[in-house]
Amino acid sequence: MNLVLLTEEDFQQGNLVSLTGERAEHIIKTIRVKIGDSLTVGLINNLMGIGIVTELSNTTVTLCVELNSQAPTPLPVRLILALPRPKVLRRTIAACSSFGIKEFVLINSYRVEKSYWNSPLLQPEQLNKHLTLGLEQAKDTILPSIRLAKRFKPFVEDELSSLLESSKGIVAHPYADDHCPKNTSGHITLAVGPEGGFIPYEIDKLAEAGFQSISLGPRILKVETAIPFLLGKLL
């Protein structure tokens, strides 16, 4: 945790914030603050700043907060991700949130196991928890949105084309002929398939919607490894 993420409800009185629970425990036991120490803080979907520790117990931390700086610029990338297994999803959305991606769509694909759609992780509060971990890691306050598109065809046919009017569509596909473009400018909509890749029908549908298929070479990478690598290449 490199930033303590606050909500409006945390503010008690003016600029005084009193924390209990997980955040307080981390600040007290892991960071091991003393009175007078300063922490990087941020108000969710708002400014970042500094919190000075003014009171401290075994379970509560009080901070005097000054918010005065903007969150870092979001990454100009929308991620469309074939729903991975929950363990991978958790890590991937936290990592992508730390990169500054603000818009996620989790879609179905032929190779997505149906049971993944029943995971409790897909509850909004659970998703937000892992997105928040990414914000706290990266020092950011702007909470991303995640949309679930459980039906591949209507989403791709009815919605993706219009999303691509102001964004370049790229789909990572192990069997594509084109290499990943480098140092692109403008907004990108990046689609990443399941382990094993999208099936040809899905790649065709994505191509109809305007996506370019690109390959990362002969090595088969895990989703959670491939995405940061793709972002490094594209940006």
Shortest Å distance, C-beta 118 to a copy of itself:
21
137 binds a copy of itself (CB under 8 A): yes
With residue 21 as reference, give the H or E element that holds it.
helix 21-25
Cβ of residue 150: shortest distance to a copy of itself, in angstroms? 26
Instruction: Choose between 174 and 210: whose C-beta lies nearer to a copy of itself.
Output: 174
Q: Which of residues 185-224 bind a copy of itself (CB under 8 A)?
A: 217-222
CB–CB of 229/97 below 8 Å? no
Six token digits for residue 149: 């598109």
Write b or e for each residue in 198-221: b if 16 or more Cβ atoms lie within 10 A of its Cβ, otherwise e.
beeebbebbeebebebbebeeeee
Closest distance to a copy of itself from the beta carbon of 199 (Å): 17
**95 counts as binding a copy of itself under rule CB under 8 A:** yes
Instruction: Name the helix (H) or strand (E) containing 229.
Output: helix 223-234
CB of 57 to a copy of itself, least distance (A): 27
In the sheet that holds 77-82, the strands lie side by side as 145-149, 103-107, 77-82, 188-192, 168-172, 212-215, 178-179
Of positions 12, 20, 161, 225, contacts a copy of itself by CB under 8 A? 225
* Interaction site with a copy of itself (CB under 8 A): 2, 72, 95, 98-100, 137-140, 182-183, 217-222, 225-235
